[in-house]
Amino acid sequence: MCDHNPLHCILPPGVLRRLADSGADEVRKAALSTLALDTQFRVARAEAAARRGGRSAQAVTFARIGGTPQRTVYDQGHKQAQVPGKVSRSEGQDAVSDASINQAYDGLGATYDYYWSCYERDSIDGQGLPLLGLVHYGSNYDNAFWDNAGHMFFGDGDGKLLTDTTAGIDVIGHELTHGVTQHEANLVYSGQSGALNESISDVFGIQVKQRALKQSSDQSDWLIGAEIVGPELKPALRSMKAPGTANPHDDQPADMGGYVDGGDVHTNSGIPNRAFSVVATTLGGNSWDAAGPIWYAACADPNLRSTASFSQFAALTLKHAKQSYGETSSQADAVSAGWEAVKVPL
Amino acid sequence: MRLRVRRLGGLAGVKVGADVDTDDLPGGHTPALDDALRGLAWGSESAAPHPDAFRYELTKLDDPDRPSVIVGEHEVPSELHPLLDAARERGEVES
């Protein structure tokens, strides 16, 4: 293993960094090259370790009659503490004076209702996981995220890039769907599986919004984050119908011709996003009538691996379209057309 | 000391970058800031701990041979928060 250069062995990164800082030119170059390689391995290992969940980790809990969420919304008071702050609204309580608290409560409820009504999925984990929303997180924090540990954090935005993130019902659906993915295929958050992870969150996030607004596929604008963007990112974060056109900085490709090797997961997610919007609009009606259930079945399919490529995921959507609606059904044809439109081979 | 600070990731998926001179920070270039910078694992990259997490890439502009470091937002030492705040305030979205 150490035939060519002793640095390509088991030297810890600290030693490599000291060599890179102080060694002779040849040693310094070798140390930097080894550090770069070492970093790739360490990032991959850390990413794998951070991905808690997956089907094998699903707990079998007590019998529960689903259909009702268990929401608690906390006020973080603009602190960046990772633990829940002051309880502001619990399940069944009346609205409070803080609009952000109420928006988070309603968005968590709309997402729970979508998954329960469409798939009888009892919360994120299918086992009634309580939904905890942590609002007013940080100072001018322009982000929202699911922490893989049962909490959704909402920033108030900096007013330039993002505004109050509780205002985006699609954003809440997006983040909670990261939790659903965590409990299903647990897709690795890099490369094509990472872009799929992001796309699946957009796909179900937009459905949560469309369903709450009673919008058909034709009536929807297919924009993600339109209600939470500040002036620099107007009119939206992403366009599922026309990736690359959502705002002046939008770099999403619309098909595999523009696929970015090594690109960010939020960049290449435009490709499967568009495939879904094509399928849903080709079929007409509501996206959660057929297109959504086909995507959901693919996400919940035990054959969807954590490192899935676009093609592997696409093949599963076609399999479920044929199984549910027939080999020569309009649904199966629409799925084929969707992936063909974005040049993902089936 | 001049640093290039780039914020990666986040729900929006946009990269925001700014060059910051630590002498211009509200508290100036303090020994604590220096220690915190020295303690970073330059040349390493932290994985995103969860989807849509922010990560910060720091590059020493006065030391071009030194590799950058990428740190998860929750791993950034508090002594470096003024640096990140300054970068966020003056940062521009990369197209």
> Global pTM?
0.89
Chain B residues whose CB is inside 8 A of the A144 CB are 11, 52
Nearest chain B residue (CA) to A41: B45
Taking contacts as CB-CB distances below 8 angstroms, the residues of chain B near A34 are none
> Which of chain A's residues have a Cβ under 8 Å away from the Cβ of B47?
43-44, 46-47, 50, 189
pLDDT tens, residue by residue, A207-262: 999 999 999 999 999 999 999 999 999 999 999 999 999 999 999 999 999 999 99
CA distance linking residue A125 with residue A160, whole number of Å:
35
Pairing of strands A131-137, A71-75: parallel
Q: In this complex, which of A42, A233, A267 lies closest to B44 when CB atoms are compared? A: A42
Task: With CB atoms and an 8 Å threshold, state whether B52 touches A144.
Answer: yes
Tens digit of each residue's pLDDT (9 = 90 or more) over A108-140: 999 999 999 999 999 999 999 999 999 999 999
Q: Cβ(B6)–Cβ(B57) under 8 Å?
A: yes
User: What are the structural domain ranges in chain B?
Assistant: 2-93
Buried b (16+ CB within 10 A) or exposed e, A303-326: ebebebebebbbbbbbbbbbeebe
Q: For B34-90, what is each residue's pLDDT tens digit? A: 999 999 999 999 988 899 999 999 999 999 888 999 999 989 999 999 999 999 889
Q: Give the number of beta-carbon pairs within 8 Å between A and B.
A: 108
Q: Which of A32, A35, A237 sits opposite B12 (nearest CB)?
A: A237
pLDDT of A5 strictly over 90: no
From chain B, the residues in CB contact with A14 under 8 A are 41
DSSP state of A183: H
CA distance B68 to chain A (A): 11
Helices (DSSP H) in A184-290: which residue ranges? 191-212, 265-268, 270-283
Cα(A151)–Cα(A201) distance, rounded to whole angstroms?
16
Testing the interface with A: which of B50, B60, B74 to mutate, by most A Cβ within 10 A?
A: B50
Report A:29-58 residues touching B (Cβ under 8 A): 32, 35-36, 39, 42-44, 46-47, 50
Residue among A46, A315, A48 at smallest CA distance from A186 = A48
- pLDDT bucket at A2, cuts 50 / 70 / 90: very low
Average pLDDT in the A323-330 region? 98
Chain A residue numbers with beta carbons less than 8 Å from the beta carbon of B93 are 161, 232-233, 249
Rounded to a whole number of angstroms, the distance from the CA of B71 to the nearest CA of chain A is 11
B12/A158 CB distance under 8 A: no
- With CA atoms as reference, the chain A residue closest to B78 would be A80
| Reported ipTM | 0.93
Q: Would you state the pLDDT for residue A1?
A: 40
| B-chain residue closest to A52, CA distance | B50
Residues of A noted as catalytic: 175, 266
pLDDT on residue A12: 56
pLDDT band at A45 (very low <50, low <70, confident <90, very high): low
Mean pLDDT check: name the lowest of A18-27, A187-196, A278-287: A18-27
